[in-house]
Each structure stands twice: as structure tokens, then as C-alpha cells.
Amino acid sequence: MAGKSSKVIDTSGVLVEANVQLVDYLIIAPILIPIIFGAILLMMRRSDEWTKSGVNLSAYVACFGIALMTLASFALLLRVNAQGPITMTMGRWLPPFGISFSVDKLGALLTFVGSFVALMGAIYSTADAKVIDRRFGFYPFLLLMMAGVSGAFLTGDIFNLYVWFEVLLISSFGLIVLGSEKKQLDGTMKYAFLNLVATTMFLIATGYLYGLLGTLNMADIAMKLQNYDGDGPVRTIAVLYIAAFSMKAAAFPLNFWLPASYHTPRIVVSALFAGLLTKVGIYSLLRVAVMLFSFEREFLSIGIAWLAGATMLVGVLGALAQNDIRRILGYLVISGIGTMLAGIYVATVPGLSGVIVYTVHSMLTMTALYLVAGMIGKISGSFDLREVGGLYAVSPMLSAVFFVLCLAIAGLPLTSGFWGKFILVKATLEVEGAQWLALIILVSGFLTTIAIFRIWIFAFWRGGPSGTPDGKENYQNNILDDKYKLTASLVIGVLTGAILLIGFMPEWLLSYSADAAQSLLFPNDYIESVFGKEAL
């Protein structure tokens, strides 16, 4: 529209005519809230100088922001659960030209769990983040990273997905280098380089796809690919996408950046990275490889199966070989990614719902495990298995919680991990000729049990570090200050509670994720939410 009010332009057939309800703003609320709070926090980096007592104001603002975001995404989850996929197209331009944000059950669930995990991380950081971290922008980076994460989960446009990847990557660079120690710079280099390569591949694939189909809207792509014949270029694009996203998810053979970098930053940063970032890669694989390129599955599937098996084994064998607790956990993240890939290979409704359950479980469990590792590190002053020990005597409660988390990551009953693995193994066994993959899931679960209980035995069960006589009196542990102890216990307790809750009452999550898997495989209602009924 030009500057003169007298000029009238006919906009029919260009703009979305339907009115937008206030409640539809829930679609972008989980993105908008962290952006707004991130911007505010950027302006108050030095807020501890504003008052004489040096109150940690920015931490509280950040927690409040992420809490709001969690509430908004929970409301969104309820709405999507009741109504099915919903779409809002930015700036009122008609899709596929306007950028759509389409939320289906998968996106809504992961956004909610992601912001919940981030809330726990933010609360933990109130007691843990140092003044210098706050000055260098820990909280603005955290909030902007969350905007990127939920943006990736909620967008319905593949180029926009790339943009959110960039947003979360750049913020995560800031978070991982916070502190600027030598080994952090080293870890950041590997992390940044591999991720930038993956992002570039993603961009190239998107360029090809646009050249081929002339659209970037995911619903539109799904429709056009259904009627597209001639599969050469489509296969190239699908392989490029899968390579890019598996790199981001740290799948074999491009998994080495993860254990090389995740142990270097602050423990809360590692926890959030392990909980959130690789899962964005898995989510994108689900969205692109399953929903968009579904008919290419026969061609691609055997590759994904090998990828899954190798990732599981490499991850867990790497975990067995390590002595640093954080590195063990890093390798277990990779092994979990392999398990999720196995479900993507199966790509039936039970298989995909197993992936979704396992993703939710992995987000909660990995974050909790890293935070417990942080507590172990604080108490014993080291993350090396050879130098820790006797923590059972220091805190029986922490040992109990860690025990539950061990069961969860190993996929043993009573916990959320059991259900994810159970459904996945069952779904894999149903596929003709994929029994070997089910066997690998079980074997890697068994090896995970050994790897994680090594930490349990070394850090908690035995009397003390090697070279000291047994018994609590013989060696010194750091005494935690009360505020840290309270905050960390609260956060880890809530996360463990959530894991146990899913373990005991999985019905809601299982039926929800089955619905989500159904709408991934048959995205008709997703397309309908963007283009209306006539399009189908």
C-alpha cells in the first residue's frame, strides 16, 4: 500500500480473509515470548549493578519469561489436542506465499517438553550461573536459543525452519563459548564447524527443492510431491536433507563433534544442549524424511537402518570407553539418537509413536542426568570416574534419584525410557527382515545399562576414590551451599518425577503420540489447516 490514503488496491485473492481469533496467537506465543524476554534481558545484562545488593534480577526475569513460554505452549498443546493442526500465516499473505506456522500434535508436544526442560535449566542456573556469565549474556542467549528451538518445532515453512536453525545455532555458539576457556574454544570450533557444514547442506537442499517444486511451504511440498513423477532429483534432495539433519542429530558417522564439545561448557548449558538440540535434528528428520519424502522411504530406508544401528553401537561403545562422566553422557546422547533413528526407519504408526515417546523421554532424562553430573562435580570437585566416590554416604537421596535416572536411560521398567524402547522394539520386530535392528536396540540397551551403572558404582556405591580407604571420614567432599542444594534438588526432583510419572501412567502420552504419528504419515489434516478443505 502506498503512502497516500486515497489509493485503493484490490487485495482479494492475495490476503487471508478469515478473522484471526485471539487464541490463535498461541501458535506464535512460544516463539514471541522468548524473543521479547531475550531482547529485554539483552538490555539488562548489567542489572546486578542497578541495585546496591546486586540482586540477580536478570535470572528471575528469564525464569519468568520461560515460565510464561511453558504455559503458552501447554495451552497450545491442549488446543491442538482438541482441534487438530492449526495454522497461522504471517502478515496475512495467502499461503504458500506467506510464511505459515503450522502446529500439529508432534510440534506442540515437543515445544511444551522443550520449554519445560528449559524452565528447569533456567531455575537451576539461578543458583549456578556466575556473575561473569550473566554479564556475557547467558540469559539473553538462553532465551533466544529457546525462540529458535520452538520456532523450529512450530514452523510450517522449510526455509523458515532453516532460519530457526540459524537462530538456535548462533545463540548456542554464544552459550557454549561462555567462559572462554581454552578447551571451550576447542570444543566450540568443532561444534560450530560441523554444524555450519550441516546448515549449509540444509540450505543447498532447500534451494534444490525450491528449484524443483517452486514452493517452500511444507504442506504445499507434501501435496506436490505426492503427484510428482520422476524420482532422481527428489532422491538427491531427500538424501541431502537426511545427511544434514543426521549431522545435527549427531548420527554416525558424523557424531564426533558431540562428545568433543558437550563436556566443555557450563553444566547447565550441556544439559540443555543434550536435552534440546539434537532432538531438533530428530524432529526435522521426522518432518522432512517421514512427512514430506514419505514415498522415497523404500529407497532410503535401508540406509537409515544401518545409520541407526551404527549410531546406537558407536554411541554406547564410546560411553563404555570413557572416564569423564560428562563424556559418557555425551556418548549416551548419541546412542539414544540411534534408537530414535531406528523408529524413523520403521516408519509405521507404532514405530513413529515410539520415536516420539522416546524423544520426550530423552529430553527429560538427558537434562536430568547432566544436572546430576553437575552436582557430582560440585561435591567431589571432579568429573573423572577415578577421582569420585562415596557419594552414597554424602547424599542417599541423590543416589536414589540417580538410580532412577540410570533405569530410565537404560530403558528399564518403572520409567519413561521403558515405554519408548518397548514400543520401538515391538514395532521393529513387526517389520519383515528388520529383526536384527530390534536385536541391536536390545544389545545397546544392555550395554547402556553397563555404561551408566559404571557411574553409579564408581561415584555412589564404592567407599571413596581409588587410593583412599573406605568410609566417609577418610576424604573430604565439598559442602554445597544451601541455595544451590535446594535449587538443584528441586529441579532434578521435578525432572525425575516427570520421568516416573510417564513410567507409571503412560496411557495419555502413548495415545497422543500415536495420533501424532498418524498425522505425520497421513498429513491430510495438516494440509487442510493451511489450504482449507478444497485443496485436497
Partner 1 sequence: MNTLIFRTFAPFITGLMVVFSIFILLRGHNEPGGGFIGGLIAASAFAIYGIANGVPPVRRAIYFHPHSIAGFGLLLAALAGIPSMVAGVPYLTALWTYPVIGNVEVALSTPLFFDIGVYLVVVGAITGIALSLEERHRG
Closer to partner 1 at the Cβ: 17 or 470? Answer: 17
Closer to partner 1 at the Cβ: 79 or 92? Answer: 92
User: Which residue among 25, 64, 193, 522 contacts partner 1 (CB under 8 A)?
Assistant: 25
Residue with grid cell 528471575, as numbered in its chain: 60
Picking from 105, 104, 102, 108, the residue whose alpha carbon sits closest to that of residue 76 is 108
Q: Which of these segments, 84-92, 152-160, 251-259, 350-358, binds partner 1 (CB under 8 A)?
A: 84-92
Alpha-carbon distance of 170 to 167, in angstroms, equals 6
Nearest approach, Cβ of residue 101 and partner 1 (Å): 8
Kind and range of the H or E element at 536? none
User: Which residue among 20, 400, 486, 535 contacts partner 1 (CB under 8 A)?
Assistant: 20
Q: Which of these segments, 17-25, 176-184, 300-308, 471-479, binds partner 1 (CB under 8 A)?
A: 17-25
Angle at which helix 278-285 crosses helix 232-248, to 10 degrees, equals: 160
Closer to partner 1 at the Cβ: 100 or 444? Answer: 100
Alpha-carbon distance of 258 to 247, in angstroms, equals 10
- Say whether residue 89 binds partner 1 (CB under 8 A): yes
- Say whether residue 313 binds partner 1 (CB under 8 A): no
- Say whether residue 193 binds partner 1 (CB under 8 A): no
- Say whether residue 314 binds partner 1 (CB under 8 A): no
User: Which residue among 13, 22, 53, 476 contacts partner 1 (CB under 8 A)?
Assistant: 22
In the numeric block, which cell numbers belong to residue 439? 536385536
Cβ atoms of 319 and 332 closer than 8 Å: yes
- Say whether residue 90 binds partner 1 (CB under 8 A): yes
Closer to partner 1 at the Cβ: 40 or 431? Answer: 40
Q: Which of these segments, 14-22, 61-69, 118-126, 292-300, binds partner 1 (CB under 8 A)?
A: 14-22
Residue with grid cell 514452523, as numbered in its chain: 155
What residues have CB less than 8 Å from 530, skipping those under 6 apart? Answer: 87, 89, 95, 96, 100, 102, 156, 217, 219, 220
Closer to partner 1 at the Cβ: 1 or 82? Answer: 1
User: Which residue among 65, 137, 309, 390 contacts partner 1 (CB under 8 A)?
Assistant: 137
User: Which residue among 28, 237, 254, 304 contacts partner 1 (CB under 8 A)?
Assistant: 28
Nearest approach, Cβ of residue 2 and partner 1 (Å): 6
Query: How far is residue 100 from each of residues 26, 43, 90, 95, 495, measured CA to CA in Å?
Result: 14, 30, 6, 7, 33
Amino acid identity at 204? I
- Say whether residue 400 binds partner 1 (CB under 8 A): no
Q: Which of these segments, 88-96, 158-166, 216-224, 323-331, binds partner 1 (CB under 8 A)?
A: 88-96
Residue with grid cell 571420614, as numbered in its chain: 473
Closer to partner 1 at the Cβ: 57 or 431? Answer: 57
Which residues are 89's β-sheet partners?
A: 100
- Say whether residue 170 binds partner 1 (CB under 8 A): no
Q: According to CB under 8 A, which residues from 95 to 134 bind partner 1? A: 98
Q: According to CB under 8 A, which residues from 34 to 63 bind partner 1? A: 35-36, 38-43, 45-46
Size of the site for partner 1 (CB under 8 A): 32
What residues have CB less than 8 Å from 432, skipping those under 6 apart? Answer: none
Nearest approach, Cβ of residue 140 and partner 1 (Å): 7
Kind and range of the H or E element at 108? helix 105-128
Closer to partner 1 at the Cβ: 21 or 227? Answer: 21
User: Which residue among 57, 60, 61, 92 contacts partner 1 (CB under 8 A)?
Assistant: 92
Q: What is the DSSP string of 25-62?
A: GGGTHHHHHHHHHHHHHHHTTTGGGTSTT---HHHHHH
Nearest approach, Cβ of residue 86 and partner 1 (Å): 12
Residue with grid cell 495454522, as numbered in its chain: 87
Residues constituting the chain? 536
Query: How far is residue 442 from each of residues 251, 363, 427, measured CA to CA in Å?
Result: 18, 20, 13
Q: Which residues bind partner 1 (CB under 8 A)?
A: 1-5, 16, 19-22, 24-25, 28, 32, 35-36, 38-43, 45-46, 88-92, 98, 137, 140
